[in-house]
Structure 1
Amino acid sequence: MTERFVPGLLKGMATTARQLASPTHTHEYPDVAPDLPARSRGVIALVEQNCTSCMLCARECPDWCIYIDSHKEETPPEREGGRARQHNVLDRFAIDFSLCMYCGICIEVCPFDALFWSPEFEYAETDIRDLLHEKDRLGEWAAQVPPPPPLDERAAEAPEIAAAEKPDRRRGRR
């Protein structure tokens, strides 16, 4: 039995010695900022000007952690004889990050590009009640959202564009 045990033990100790001699891959986080990927997900940011209070994000959220309050305002007609238009004005937009599961559904369903992933990840609070962030705090994170990556030149053309540029086959027929 010892003839099988000793080579295995020596092989394990050799692996341990190699690992002790290799450099570490850890960082001292609070002192050294981590190198995050370009499009890393941190926290949800809000661009308030783009939000139309359509409530799609709040309706689709599986955790119901998005709270939106708005009211309608009328704008005067642009010219005489025209009718007044109504538009929604955002009063409150809040996300409770103590409930959020960071699934990104709200960002995907937003038709007006008002929600984005921000790379900010240092937003810890000492009290769980402070994880309810209002639109001003969410708006501060929008400044840190990186621009989208450039399009790949080698990618296939979108089917909608290809169909629009395709010549009409019916014109050639009689």
Structure 2
Amino acid sequence: MTRRSVTAHYPDVQPELPPRSRGVIALFEENCTVCMLCARECPDWCIYIDSHKETVPPTAPGGRERSRNVLDRFAIDFSLCMYCGICIEVCPFDALFWSPEFEYAETDIHELTHERDKLREWMWTVPEPPALDPAAEEPKEIAAARKTADKLAAAEQAQRAEQSEQPGQREQPEPPGQSGQADAARDQAPGPREGDA
């Protein structure tokens, strides 16, 4: 109550941004396959992508040539973008990320269309993903993989236990021909047989 309030002046003192802040969209160009999902799903149509097909020679002798898409242009018009994040969520290859960078004001609205070079620069400002809450439920995919791995480990352990219990107790197979001779000798021997009762 007796302290004076302190005002932090913005340009001199940078604000502490909360985690998962939505600043700008950063592009990790190496992961982009030009699938166009981000541009198609964008409600503002503010993502512009140009590409061409390139033929890749076969990697093995006798193989066939393959074609792949090559990214020529990837631009986002931040004067149209409403920062909904649909493009980031829909990208199956993790090529788009939220960057906390927010200082990109321009005097001309046309300069708010940022090309892939600028989007790549912002990629290095993307923070590490936050750690999962220790009390949170484990993702279903990881739980299923862990369950399968536990079953395989239990089966291997049971198999090892069986092998360690019976190292010398394995029945030795009789050499071929000797089992037939033993049966014939048993049939010729006098006395009661197992089948006689």
User: TM-score normalised to the size of structure 1?
Assistant: 0.79
**Could you say which structure has the larger radius of gyration?**
2
Alignment of 1:93-108 (within 5 A): 93-108=74-89
Structure 1 pair 25/100, CA: closer, same or farther in 2 (3 Å)?
farther
Equivalent of 2:14 in 26, 33, 49: 33
Question: Does residue 72 in structure 1 map to residue 72 in structure 2?
Answer: no
Three-state SS of the structure 2 residue aligned to 1:49 is: helix
Equivalent of 2:98 in 113, 117, 136: 117
Equivalent of 2:129 in 145, 148, 159: 148
Distance in 1 (CA, whole Å) between partners of 2:141 and 2:108 is 50
Structure 1 pair 62/25, CA: closer, same or farther in 2 (3 Å)?
farther
Of all paired residues, the percent bearing the same amino acid is 72
- Structure 2 residues without counterparts, runs of 5 or longer: 152-197
Superposed CA deviations along residues 17-37 of structure 1, whole A, max 9, x for unmatched, are: x8xx66336421122111112
Distance in 2 (CA, whole Å) between partners of 1:33 and 1:51 is 32
User: Which 4+ residue blocks in structure 1 deviate beyond 4 angstroms?
Assistant: none
Distance in 1 (CA, whole Å) between partners of 2:7 and 2:39 is 39
Question: Does residue 56 in structure 1 map to residue 37 in structure 2?
Answer: yes
Three-state SS of the structure 1 residue aligned to 2:133 is: coil
User: TM-score normalised to the size of structure 2?
Assistant: 0.70
- Structure 1 residues without counterparts, runs of 5 or longer: 1-17, 168-174
Question: Cα RMSD between the aligned structures?
Answer: 1.9
Structure 1 pair 103/23, CA: closer, same or farther in 2 (3 Å)?
farther
Distance in 1 (CA, whole Å) between partners of 2:70 and 2:42 is 21
Count of residues in correspondence between the two structures: 149
Equivalent of 2:24 in 18, 32, 43: 43
| Larger RCO (CA under 8 A, 6+ residues apart) | 1
